[in-house]
Structure 1
Amino acid sequence: MITNVSLVTIYCTDQDAAKAFYVDTLGFVEDTDITMGEGFRWLTVAHPDHPELEITLMKPGPPLGEELAEAVRRALADGRMGGLGLRTDDCRKTCDELIAKGVEFVQMPEERPYGVEAVFRDNSGNWLVMVEPREFTPADFA
């Protein structure tokens, strides 16, 4: 039986820079950083309160074929890659804290039927959506 999601992949252009962003800027912790055969680097980070969910910071390359890896690199360069949904207790305060650390927001905090939402990009171009959730019903979207 499946019990939970334990691993998601975020593609990045530079694994060291991505690790620094997720650890130093967002407050994640390094989990695994090993090199395996032919220079393949397995690098994961996790939120300190949720170590059961690792985020792999992966450079586009094997096991992807070269054509797909190049498409991922182009999407990152264009800022078109989806990333993660992040939860926060106070979207506006967290936004201010991240701006002070140099994070650039694509969308400043805005009220939505499901909570307060802001969008920023990581240093590889992935979109990260940050939400301060609240209870909602389908009628809130009418």
Structure 2
Amino acid sequence: MSPCSLSFVLRQPDDGDGLARFEAIVESDSFAGKIQFWGYAEQFDELAEKLKGFPASPESRVEHALGSPGVGLCEMKFECIDGVGHVAVWAELEAEHPVFPSNEYQKSKQCILVDPASVDQFYVELKGLGSGSEIRASLYGK
């Protein structure tokens, strides 16, 4: 398996209010980042639907965020980078809490390169995470 990946893992299931705690892990060849964030399982289903059949054209682009500022944030941008369907995924992570005593949040930003078949498999895993039948969804790069 490639050392490059983007993964989401369920850490604390929904206790009835709809919110659950997830972990986002991004690893490129030379950088890595990990955060925990609060979110709704439906957010993964929304991302999956945006990525269904991605990329449809060389101009294809998808942007999506999970979590939100102050509770952990993962902002992603999926872009087709050539006519053969190769994809660059940029993921920026923002910590759940600022670094005391400042008001600044730690951040990391990584890029992984993937092929369309990997995006198709990620789609399936995201649907599982969104429905509660899976606890992990991973996108592996090259």
Q: TM-score, normalised by structure 2?
A: 0.30
More helix by share: 1
Q: Which has the higher contact order (CA 8 A, sep 6+)?
A: 2
Q: TM-score, normalised by structure 1?
A: 0.30
